[in-house]
Amino acid sequence: MPELVFLGHASFLLKEEGKESLLFDPFVTGNPTAPLKPEDIKADYILVSHGHADHLGDAYDIAGANDATIISTAEVASQAAEKGLKSHAQHLGGRHSFPFGSVKLTLAFHGAGIPGGHACGFVVDYYGKKIYFAGDTALFGDMKLIGELDKLDLALLPIGDNFTMGIDDAVVAASFLKAKTVIPYHYNTWPVIEADPEEFKKKVEDNTGSKCFVIPPGDSYQL
């Protein structure tokens, strides 16, 4: 059974015994909520939503230590390749097959953090489980299409406001996506993104058909 471990801020590790592990936006060094050190993290693929330091984070160091493949936009993937790392470039709307299933890049309304680039989210098919990782984004209407095109088992959504959606907009996003389960992230790392995940949970479950789970850093959710 797949397990999703929350590594703090916007970082998650998706794994299952004997299968490839996927790491999302591994901001560990300098992250006051991180439960692990970069050298403690093992991954086969690293998905990077954009080039801001709190998302690109330790991706290149962890990729080098694990011989992992960076999956991201063409700009981030090219930068990784220039550093001698394995990478796979995609872009918005594109889906590609991998040994574990597939990855599709979605829109994300946010800065790229790298010249000429775009921020993105991901829809991951991991051994039959469909997971949407929104990256850093504002609410946008085409989230309805994401939920219609891929029947989602899990949606991972930022709730911290200021740089991304806040709680109320993220609840609307959950209503658009119609995932079976929603998990919040990108909150309480610093005072500027303080948010109450229990408030988000209540609003999601009162206003949508989704269940919501709040995971403290270091804890996990079984898909």
Task: Write the pLDDT tens digit of every residue in 42-95.
Answer: 999 999 999 999 999 999 999 999 999 999 999 999 999 999 999 999 999 999
Q: What average pLDDT score do residues 140-155 get?
A: 97
Cα gap 114→75, rounded to integer Å: 7
> What pLDDT score does 115 carry?
87
The pair of three-digit structure tokens given for residue 47, joined into one six-digit string: 């998905």
Q: What average pLDDT score do residues 21-49 get?
A: 96
3-state SS of 17-35 is CCCCCEEECCCCCCCCCCC
- Mean predicted lDDT score pLDDT of the chain: 97
Q: What average pLDDT score do residues 184-198 get?
A: 98
Residue 219 has pLDDT above 90, yes or no: yes
Helix (H) or strand (E) holding 220: strand 220-222
Residue ranges of domains in the chain, CATH in brackets: 3-222 (3.60.15.10)
> What pLDDT score does 29 carry?
96
> What pLDDT score does 181 carry?
98
Helix (H) or strand (E) holding 169: helix 167-177
Closest CA to 74 of 58, 93, 57: 93
Taking the CA atoms of residue 202, residue 159, residue 174 and residue 148 in that order, the dihedral angle to the nearest 10 degrees is -170
> What pLDDT score does 165 carry?
98
pTM of the model: 0.97
- Beginning with the edge strand found earlier in the chain, give each strand of the sheet holding 154-158 in spatial order: 95-98, 101-107, 120-126, 129-133, 154-158, 181-185, 211-212
